[in-house]
Amino acid sequence: MDVIRNKLELSTCHTKVEWIAAVTIAAGTAATGYPAYKRFYVKDHHNKSMVNPHIQKDNPKVVHAFDMEDLGDKAVYCHSWRFKKFPLCDGSHTKHNEETGDNMGPLTNRDT
């Protein structure tokens, strides 16, 4: 009976050591594998925020053209595409800048 008990205790000890080793190896693999995965397998454009969240998403490239004569003396345009009156600026850049510390501003056309 003592022989069986000793074998069970020895087996339990080896099992704990094996689990500790397995967990250590798994943690080390995850710690090096995940950054490597992010660096080499995830596309760069997935890591950056999209500039145009909702304007003409069915087009591969959005282009807006205006005749200078139609603009008048002054026109102020939003170049971030994040505001409701796009393409005209609605002044939301100011609030955005205060909230985020960003320095984004409008594109302004003046007839000089």
Over the chain, what is the mean pLDDT? 71
Contact 52, 60 (CB under 8 A): no
In this predicted structure, the answer to whether residue 77 has a pLDDT above a threshold of 70 is: yes
Q: What is the pLDDT of residue 45?
A: 47
* Shared domain check, 101 and 65: yes
* Shared domain check, 111 and 61: yes
* Shared domain check, 95 and 62: yes
Which residues is 108 bridged to in the sheet? 76
Query: Which residues does the annotation mark as catalytic?
Result: 61
Average pLDDT over residues 68-80: 71
Residue 59 CA to residue 26 CA, distance in Å, equals 45
* Shared domain check, 42 and 91: no
> What is the number of structural domains in the chain?
2
Quickly tell me which residue has 């995965």 as its tokens: 37
* Shared domain check, 93 and 112: yes
Contact 58, 29 (CB under 8 A): no
Q: Which of 77, 82, 78 is closest to 100 using CA atoms? A: 82
What's the pLDDT band for 27 if we cut at 50, 70, 90? very high
Q: Which DSSP helix (H) or strand (E) runs through 91?
A: none
Give the domain extent around 32.
Answer: 2-47
What global pTM score does this model have?
A: 0.35
* Shared domain check, 57 and 39: no
